[in-house]
Amino acid sequence: MKTEDNLKKAFAGESQANRKYLAYAERAEKENLPGVAKLFRAAAAAETVHAHKHLSVMQGATTTRQNLEDALAGEIHEFKSMYPQMIADAEAETAKQALMSFKYANEVEQVHANLYQKALDLMDKLPVEDYYVCKICGYTVAQEAPDKCPVCGANKQNFFKVD
Ligand code: FE2
Ligand code: FE2
Ligand code: FE2
């Protein structure tokens, strides 16, 4: 059936459009174009509605345990196979900025895998904690931001708290 493949493609496309529009909104804000920024954020929110609808049609009603297992498998795939290959390619092609971007993501996906594994182990015993994310590399940490990011070396002011 084509539809299953189409749902996957549409989910990927809508998800990308969402992140792209949010980045474009930030850029518009910097260019002092608040009306354009707001339009990008509105369209981004709508693309999220589309993406979530496609995903729920694809997956049906999955449980949180299944979702954690899926998330863990995705992170493991990224740091064990996807990013190592991309890092090797970027090195071979001396694509320095891409190399740095892949390396940061690669390290942080390992951290995400550990966090998801812990969540799977603890489930309802997982404490409700504050999480902090490094805006340079995405390093993700519970409780408190470190003085210095262990992945990219950025200082504490570069961490934002997740709502
Ligand atoms: Fe859309
Ligand atoms: Fe991740
Ligand atoms: Fe960082």
Residue 8 pLDDT: 97
**Domain boundaries 63-126, corresponding CATH code:** 1.20.1260.10
Q: What is the pLDDT of residues 85-134, one digit of tens each?
A: 999 999 999 999 999 999 999 999 999 999 999 999 999 999 999 999 99
Ligand 1 centroid to residue 158 C-alpha, Å:
32
Ligand 3 centroid to residue 59 C-alpha, Å:
33
Fold of 127-163: Rubrerythrin, domain 2 (2.20.28)
Residue 61 pLDDT: 84
CA dihedral 109, 113, 114, 120 (to 10 degrees): 160
Residues with beta carbon < 5 A to ion ligand 3?
134, 136-137, 139, 149, 151-152, 154
Q: Is the pLDDT of residue 20 over 90?
A: yes
Q: What is the pLDDT of residues 35-89, one digit of tens each?
A: 999 999 999 999 999 999 999 999 988 999 999 999 999 999 999 999 999 999 9
Fold identical between 63-126 and 127-163? no
**CATH 1.20.1260.10 for domain 2-57:** yes
Residues 6+ apart with CB under 8 A from 115: 140, 142
Indicate the domain borders of the chain.
2-57, 63-126, 127-163
Strand, coil or helix: 149: coil
Residue 91 pLDDT: 98
